[in-house]
Amino acid sequence: MKLLAFGKIAEIIGKQEIEIENFPNTDILVGYLQQQYPALKDLKFSIAIDKKQVNGNISIATGAEVALLPPFSGG
């Protein structure tokens, strides 16, 4: 699956786009990412699967595109 990251999340992961193995749902994916990149634990973000925002723990279809969307405050 493809993972897209924005803002500070992309800084932490080091890339805006990475290919990773498939994860069955968003909770497992986030848990894995927090383990790989502990700094993510301190961040709030929303999740989109195939360009649609999802809330709660949602299953991820094989080959889906998952985006991590942090809030920005600057103006």
Going from the C-alpha of 66 to that of each of 51, 56, 74, the distances in angstroms are 8, 14, 25
The C-alpha atoms of residue 75 and residue 19 are separated, in whole angstroms, by 32
Query: Whose Cβ is closer to another protein: residue 38's or residue 71's?
Result: 71
Using the rule CB under 8 A, is 48 a contact of another protein? yes
Contact 65, 51 (CB under 8 A): yes
Choose, by CB under 8 A, the member of 14, 19, 21, 55 that binds another protein: 55
Residues at the contact surface with another protein, assessed by CB under 8 A: 4, 6-8, 16, 42-44, 46, 48, 51-55, 67, 69-75
